[in-house]
Amino acid sequence: MDAWPEGVHRGRFLRNPVTGQTLTFLEFSPELLVMETTYRAGGPQAPEHYHPLQEEHFVVLEGAVGVVVDGRERQLAAGEELTLPPGSRHRFGALPDQLCRARWEVRPALLTAEFLSTTFGLAQDGHATKGGVP
């Protein structure tokens, strides 16, 4: 793996106090960012968004997560996977009664690690909406 971005390193743990989402960085190269994330039961879903140049791959390790992809709602349970090609509109979030722990891969990495570090930091500093948006 290549050098990590400034301020980001393997094992760095982030927590968003507004949403309850946690994030641990596992691997980094320009081609791939790998993280483990948890969604708190009943926490808000991330706002709908898309990545024009990146593919995302999720593997649910524990619990379940609610997903909306291109307007279609579904749930992913432990052991299930989802790959989102570039341009797929999506949002993720915990279910009301279940925590979710998942492996999250982003290809290529681009500035995703820096973006997530910044948004989680803003939430920790009190600069986020009730939904966790900075």
Average pLDDT over residues 59-68: 96
Whether 131 maps to a domain, the answer reads no
Domain that holds residue 27: 15-124
pLDDT digit string, tens, across residues 11-42: 999 999 988 999 999 999 999 999 999 999 99
Residue 7: predicted pLDDT: 77
Give the domain CATH number at 76: 2.60.120.10
Report the predicted TM-score, pTM, of the whole model to 2 decimal places.
Answer: 0.90
CA separation for the pair 87, 23 (Å, rounded): 23
Specify the higher pLDDT residue, 128 or 17.
17
Q: How many domains does the chain have?
A: 1
Residue 1 has pLDDT above 70, yes or no: no
**Residue 76 and residue 65: Cα distance in Å, rounded?**
5
Q: Is residue 57 one of the residues assigned to a domain? A: yes
Whether residue 63 lies inside any domain: the answer is yes
Looking at the domain assignment, is residue 94 inside a domain? Answer: yes
- Look over the chain and give the mean of its residue pLDDT values, rounded to a whole number: 92
DSSP assignment of 60-128: EEEEEEEEEETTEEEEEETT-EEEE-TT--EEEEEBTTB-EEEEEEEES-TTHHHHHHHHHHHHHTT-S
- Domain membership flag for residue 8: no
Residue 134 in any domain: the answer is: no
Q: pLDDT-based confidence at 87, cuts 50/70/90?
A: very high
Asked, for residue 3, whether it belongs to a domain, the answer is: no
Domain presence at residue 109: yes
